[in-house]
Amino acid sequence: MGKKKKDPVAIRGNWKVEFAGWLVGQVVKVLGWTLRVRIDAPDGLLERLKTDESPVIYCVWHNQLLSAFLRIRKFKRPNSMIVLTSASKDGGGLAALAKAMGSGAARGSSSRRGRAAMMTLLREISNGSDAGFTPDGPRGPRYELQGGVVKVAQASGAPILVMRFEYDSAWRLDTWDHLRIPKPFSKVTLTLDELLAVPRRLEEDEFEAIRARLEVRMQEGLDDLEPDDNDEHRRKKSSRKRPR
């Protein structure tokens, strides 16, 4: 018998990766208890987030995702939560992490199962769930905002909430996104912007203006915005792997 071909749209799983994601979730919970967090938000926004059940779309860079899980839990939102992860094995680990933190996951990206993931997100938002986006994920380039989050906000009517994290002391992993892990008992500052509503009907230039505006807002305060040599190497390596 010939070797079975992989389904290009199938969700890939690996129990070891998923267990690792669950385990990371437990560690992150413990870490969160030690952190000193300051939240900088417009007047009235935190109160609205804690009481208003209208869905929102959280938007955070991929390397700040662990911190975002912790802060979303602290908001004590009445809504359930779903995050977008890739359909790859690594995405399975992130989905397991999300589950450990009390969130669901829609599996897909621009290269695989994107439409299915988008429909899942829209259905869950219409049912009252919040959604989480890492707009430079799942593989970068780092700090470049893709248009998917704007499309979901446009289709669902849910506003976008930009989240920016700054760290007093954190580890920075040697990954494509330079994942940040705050050190125990360190200080973390979370800055929230006003909720951004995206009109249902947009011309192409209007859509791009909103995308660019979001990207600029999310890049504020970054200390590693300029790419380094490792970033360029990873970008070339990633481009060779992309399906044609």
Whole-structure pTM value: 0.83
Q: Using the predicted structure, report yes or no on whether residue 123 has a pLDDT greater than 80.
A: yes
Instruction: Average the pLDDT over each of 96-110, 196-210, 212-226 and give the range with the smallest value.
Output: 96-110
Dig out the tokens for 153 from the structure.
């906000």
Q: Using the predicted structure, report yes or no on whether residue 177 has a pLDDT greater than 80.
A: yes
Q: Using the predicted structure, report yes or no on whether residue 237 has a pLDDT greater than 60.
A: no
The Cα 197–Cα 207 span in angstroms is 12
Are 198 and 150 contacting, i.e. CB atoms less than 8 angstroms apart? yes
Instruction: Average the pLDDT over each of 29-38, 96-105, 178-187 and give the range with the smallest value.
Output: 96-105
Over pLDDT 70: what percentage of the chain?
A: 82
Instruction: Average the pLDDT over each of 1-10, 74-83, 162-171, 207-216 and give the range with the smallest value.
Output: 1-10
**What is the average pLDDT value for the chain, to the nearest integer?**
83
Nearest CA-CA partner of 218 in 142, 148, 158: 142
Greater pLDDT, 226 or 124? 124
